[in-house]
């Protein structure tokens, strides 16, 4: 009789390597500011938009730059209004806010208020740096370089925080008396 004999061999499971993961592309840091003031002349002015968390700079009435900002978080609102720069200090520190470290230098409280928080024995209160300080009120509101942890969201104790490179450029062009308008 003619017939076919099919032999089945026992097969061990074959491990198939997963496909290679696509190459990871480093996340682009968000663009925090743009400066286009080259060639412009005239008096500078600044507009801070609290809703947009954005600063705009004008030179001689012409648009010169923009930046994200971090203004006053809940309970520490940045007041809207028309101001002028009253004081400029390159290396200023807060007189109220900072962090507390223990004797070994470890942070024990990162958002400390000198009016109510005290350092442990051997520890210290380290006042927050506010470089490139541009004072707007004698009650402690100003513009300065500082962290913007979540662009588009308020984060300060009332000041207007700026990205450091932007703060440096702004500090160089403003003078005592430069107008600053803060809008809602």
Per-residue pLDDT of the chain (184 residues; tens, 9 = 90+): 455 444 444 555 666 667 776 677 677 778 999 999 999 999 999 999 999 999 999 999 999 999 999 999 999 999 999 999 999 999 999 999 999 999 999 999 999 999 999 999 999 999 999 999 999 999 999 999 999 999 999 999 999 999 999 999 999 999 999 999 999 9
Q: What gap in Å lies between CA 30 and CA 165, rounded to an integer?
A: 14
The structural domain count of the chain equals 1
How high is the pLDDT of residue 8?
47
pLDDT value at position 5?
47
28: in domain = no
Instruction: Give me the pLDDT at residue 14, please.
Output: 61
For residue 27, the model assigns a pLDDT of 73
CATH number at residue 105: 2.40.440.10
Q: Which domain holds residue 126?
A: 33-183
In this structure, is residue 2 part of a structural domain? no
Instruction: Note whether residue 12 is domain-resident.
Output: no
Does residue 164 lie within any of the structural domains?
Answer: yes
Q: How high is the pLDDT of residue 12?
A: 56
Residue 82 lies in a domain: yes
Does 1 reside within a domain? no
Is 102 among the domain residues?
yes
Q: Determine, yes or no, domain membership for 14.
A: no
């Amino acid at each position: 009789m003619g017939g076919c004999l099919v032999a089945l061999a026992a097969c061990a499971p074959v491990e198939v390597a997963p496909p290679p993961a696509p190459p990871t592309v480093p996340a682009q840091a968000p663009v925090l500011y743009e400066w286009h003031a080259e060639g412009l002349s005239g008096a500078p002015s600044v507009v801070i938009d609290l809703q947009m968390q954005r600063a705009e700079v004008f030179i001689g009435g012409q648009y010169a730059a923009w930046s994200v900002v971090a203004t006053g978080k809940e309970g520490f609102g940045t007041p809207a209004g028309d101001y002028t720069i009253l004081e400029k200090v390159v290396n200023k520190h807060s007189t109220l806010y900072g962090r507390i470290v223990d004797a070994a230098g470890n942070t024990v409280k990162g958002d400390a208020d000198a009016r109510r928080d005290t350092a442990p024995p051997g520890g210290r209160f380290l006042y927050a740096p506010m470089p490139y300080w541009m004072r707007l009120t004698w009650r402690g509101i100003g513009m300065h370089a500082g962290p913007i942890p979540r662009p588009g969201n308020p984060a300060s104790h009332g000041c207007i925080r700026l990205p450091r490179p932007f703060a440096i450029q702004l500090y160089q062009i403003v003078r005592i008396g430069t107008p600053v308008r803060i809008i809602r």
